[in-house]
Amino acid sequence: MPLIGFAVFAVGLATTIPLPLYGAYVARGGYGAGALALAFACYAITLILTAPLLGPLPDRIGRKPCVLVGVLLAALSTLALMIVPDIPALAAARIAQGLAMGCVTGAAAAWAAELSGGGPAGGRRAAGVVAAATVGSFGLGGVLTLLAVWADPATLRPPTFPAHLVLAAALLWPVARLPETLRAPVTRGGWLRRPAFPCGTLATTLAIIPAWGTTGTLLTSGQAVLTAQDMPLAGPLAGCAMMVIGVAAQRGFAHVAPRRAVRIGLAVLVLGAGTGFLGAVTGWLAPLLAGAVIIGIGVYGFVYLGGLAAVAEAASGEDRARAVAGYFVAAHLGFSAVPLATGLAVDAVGAAAALGGLWAGILAAALALGLAIGRDRR
């Protein structure tokens, strides 16, 4: 089972190790915030479009092929950025990363659970391994590349890239030798899994759109705006702080009731977005970093955990799988559409107007969704 965890770690690492270089890609090609946001959004768009097919795929062709293909695609995404470190290559890499994550996520959880003996205990152990690998990769990847860029600000091919390729290559053979646990392909239900939205969870699900939209905007427009102000390391530093603190916050606030957590998270998000956007527009590092940390806590510690728990509690069995799929469709919609719209607005009307308008939208959404969640609870 640890090998499967390392495979998930390798796939997650591919999505985060390029993050501190986004501003450099923009500056190298003379692109705007909109081009960066479009390349960034390719990951989420790919997941949204392929999720109905990739979700049930492990039950059709087996767990092992899905995990191996995912690791290979993750390695190819890193190789593409090593060969051509620019925005078009980033778009291609993000598509590969989206396919890789779609292949691995469900397959790894099912495979690890079955290799652990199945049943509730095996499922819990597998969930712990997959969650730890995902969290570890998201928290570590960007930080390691940021340290490399700090040591050599001119680098576009940091040592984290070849290290990731070595890790992926080293995993393929041992993972391929693990036994396949799918005894017979599941034929019922067709090849597509349609997402579902359980009754009473619409507001808690919709809350993830402004939440993940804000994180995506900080990682894209935030970096582009700060790079244009000759602060190329400030954006990656804020992005890494947001993700590391956000991941750490999940353990501290997991006990909060789901709907209460989402409402708290929305309020925290409004505060963090306003502070962080002010720092990005003015080039003031203190509010930028403070806002990034607050956003991370609000989004990952409250909104994400609470919303996911709400849909999991509202459904069971196959309906739960479809409900979780629906939740992530909404999440990736926010992660793609909001940063893309904001990036285009930054290019069209400037950073202050674009980020100020986004903050007003976040405030309005938080108020409306907070009221709706309160009504759902009653």
Domain boundary, last residue among 139, 162, 192: 192
- Tell me: pLDDT of 128 over 70: no
Same domain, residue pair 171 and 293: no
H or E element in which residue 9 lies: helix 2-16
Domain boundary, last residue among 192, 220, 251: 192
User: Which of 315, 325, 318, 324 is closest to 52 using CA atoms?
Assistant: 325
Same domain, residue pair 279 and 148: no
Same domain, residue pair 224 and 188: no
Please state the domain count of the chain: 2
CATH code assigned at 224: 1.20.1250.20
Contact (Cβ atoms closer than 8 angstroms) between residue 142 and residue 158:
no
Same domain, residue pair 44 and 169: yes
Which pLDDT band, with edges at 50, 70 and 90, does 50 fall under? confident
Per-residue CA distances from 236 to 33, 79, 92, 302 (Å): 15, 21, 21, 23
CA terminus-to-terminus distance, the chain:
43
Which pLDDT band, with edges at 50, 70 and 90, does 313 fall under? confident
Q: pLDDT tens for residues 203-212?
A: 999 999 999 9
Same domain, residue pair 19 and 29: yes
Domain boundary, last residue among 146, 171, 192: 192
For residue 241, the enclosing domain spans 194-378
Same domain, residue pair 166 and 245: no
Same domain, residue pair 188 and 204: no
pLDDT of residue 377: 58
Which pLDDT band, with edges at 50, 70 and 90, does 264 fall under? very high
Maximum mean pLDDT: which of 115-119, 132-136, 193-197, 323-327: 323-327
Same domain, residue pair 309 and 224: yes
CA distance 157 to 165: 12
Same domain, residue pair 138 and 276: no
Per-residue pLDDT, averaged over 274-279, amounts to: 98
Same domain, residue pair 291 and 363: yes
Same domain, residue pair 72 and 218: no
Its pTM stands at 0.89
What one-character DSSP code corresponds to residue 179?
P
Per-residue CA distances from 365 to 201, 368, 369, 374 (Å): 16, 5, 6, 14
Same domain, residue pair 202 and 185: no
Per-residue pLDDT, averaged over 110-126, amounts to: 71
